Structure 1
Amino acid sequence: MDNQEQNPSGTELEAKLEQLNRFTRRTLTQEEVFLFDVRLCDNEIDRDGERFSLEALEQLKALFVGKTGIFDHDPKGENQTARIYAAELVQEPERVTSAGEVYTFLKGHAYMVRTDANRDLIREIDGGIKKEVSISCAAVSQTCSVCGSDRRKNPCAHRVGQLYGEKRCHVVLSDVTDAYEWSFVAVPAQREAGVTKQFGMETDGERRCKQLEQQLQNRNALLNRVENSLRQEIVRLRFLVEGSAAQDAVSAAVERMSLEELLGFQETLRTKQKHLCQAQLRTPEPQEQNGAFRMG
């Protein structure tokens, strides 16, 4: 962020006030507002191995006008602190990005209404304490820099951050359809400004596929738990029925059984255990004593 309050000339100030007053219910004066600039994002590869294309920055320039500034991407109404009233792309011709492009960043011109409540925040901005910002937007296209495939529609095998020949794999973000907000954050993804990206909204089909995939994973995890529990039960039952000599052999055998085989084996062992218990509980009938108390 350019963290010094702007001091434009008279003509420039009038133009800025005219721009920001498009978003107010009444005309605000110079004394009522605090003006500052925000470096929102750029075309350099960020900490996540992603970068915005120049086309995407152009789209964001239009989309971010009027967007509100909050804290830590928490969309509560009380977190609204500022608003962008204008935006522009700024190039630094002497600087080249790691992808070989002229370094370009999106600058947002923001304002706050001066109040007793935000007096300390304004001081923190002027003092460079509140500096790093991050944006939230929707980027539909996520292209591999090595092969050009869209990673959302046709995922490739290239890994972000790995070298392939002389190319380091990263993801190029483009086709931006919406900008949601910008936030003051502590640790942004982009080294210069910081970007937190929320990509394009999922279709109903994509969302349903993810739900089904999660349900399948949950089902498989449950089956694994059931099978492991059955294996432990079978080893215990075999030990009770046949003794410790067969325990190790059975422990190895049940690891290769399917769920259906495990259930069948468990039922067999339970039947054997039941018969064994019945045999142990059976007692011989008492023999009749010779003529005891028999009357002749």
Structure 2
Amino acid sequence: MDSNNKDKLEKLNKFTRRNLSEDEVYIFDVVLCDNEVDRDCECFSVKALEKLKELFVGKTGIFDHNPKSSGQTARIFDTQISEDPNRKTSRGEIYTCLKGSAYMVRTAANEDLIKEIDGGIKKEVSISCSAASRKCSVCGQNRLSKSCPHKKGKEYGGKKACIILDDITDAYEWSFVAVPAQINAGVTKKSYGQPEYESGGEINGCDNETVEKLCDNLKKDVSRLCFLAGENYKLLKSAADKMSVSELLEFKSELEKKCRKNPVPDILSGDEEESLKSFRM
């Protein structure tokens, strides 16, 4: 065992009743959130990310923000702040993200989930936290205490208005979701090696039954993205149903780019809001 893996095991075993071995656990890294403006025209301040770094150690991973204990699937045992000095956010800041290292105990019950993570199907994540400050990027007003005339997503002085989340008071959980608010949030390369997609769309290490399950889940993710992308939803969904895994992955990437350029509006009609509840996580 190399020193890096040994260090990870020592940190995760702080949360276990007995020391687990490398063969007993599955470890993966995930970007939890960053300071880029998300689909809801909101972003975290770097100060907020630093606070979340402290609060997310030990937090559980679930599905779709459903608080049932039966959905608990993983736990964060370590966090770090990562900066990319060569990358700027849409607001002109140095791109900064919060990364977490998570572990699961290998069992027969989560064998398929591990394959889905390795295969790139279960990838996107979303966090749940509480912020005492939601400042308007235009005037600096805390929208929790007083409203302001600036609308999220609209341009003022050549810059789009957004809400800056700060003064984090608590972090609740992180979830696997189909369509996260933050474009960059999701599983990164697995710490102990990760299988790649083959050119034909097959997935290394997976039998036909597993590939079929992964493809079905990917189609569901693409279907939700088609809805958020807007026009010709039924046509886009119909096309996605006929695609291979590699084609779906490429299509999903393009839809995510489109959703990034066209975030969900600040105010939706009653029918749009009800429809969105069925798709957005």
Interval of TM-score (by shorter of Structure 1 and Structure 2): 0.5 to 0.7
Matches within 5 A, 1:22-37: 22-37=14-29
Matches within 5 A, 1:138-157: 138-157=130-149
Greater percentage in helix: 1
Match of 1:14 among 6, 17, 30: 6
Higher-RCO chain (CA-CA 8 Å, sequence separation at least 6): 2
Match of 1:52 among 25, 38, 44: 44
Query: How far 1:14 moved relative to its partner?
Result: 1.2
Match of 1:173 among 148, 156, 165: 165
Structure 1 counterpart of 2:100, which letter?
Answer: G
Task: Name the residue aligned to 1:128.
Answer: 120
Task: Name the residue aligned to 2:150.
Answer: 158
Cα distance in 2 for residues equivalent to 1:68 and 1:38: 13
Matches within 5 A, 1:1-296: 10-193=2-185
The secondary structure found in structure 1 opposite 2:114 is: helix
TM-score (norm 2): 0.65
TM-score (norm 1): 0.62
Task: Name the residue aligned to 1:264.
Answer: none
The secondary structure found in structure 2 opposite 1:27 is: coil
The secondary structure found in structure 2 opposite 1:117 is: coil
Query: How far 1:82 moved relative to its partner?
Result: 0.3
Sequence identity (%): 63
Larger Rg: 1
Query: How far 1:59 moved relative to its partner?
Result: 0.4
Structure 1 counterpart of 2:166, which letter?
Answer: S
Query: How far 1:166 moved relative to its partner?
Result: 2.1
Q: Describe the superposition over 1:12-57 as per-residue Cα deviations: whole angstroms up to 9, x where unpaired.
A: 1111111000000010000100000011100000000100000000
Cα distance in 2 for residues equivalent to 1:159 and 1:76: 35
The secondary structure found in structure 1 opposite 2:54 is: helix
Q: Describe the superposition over 1:74-97 as per-residue Cα deviations: whole angstroms up to 9, x where unpaired.
A: 111110000000000111111100
Cα distance in 2 for residues equivalent to 1:142 and 1:24: 36
Count of residue correspondences: 186
* Structure 1 ranges of 4+ moved more than 4 A: none
Query: How far 1:167 moved relative to its partner?
Result: 2.4
Structure 2 counterpart of 1:82, which letter?
Answer: A
The secondary structure found in structure 1 opposite 2:5 is: helix
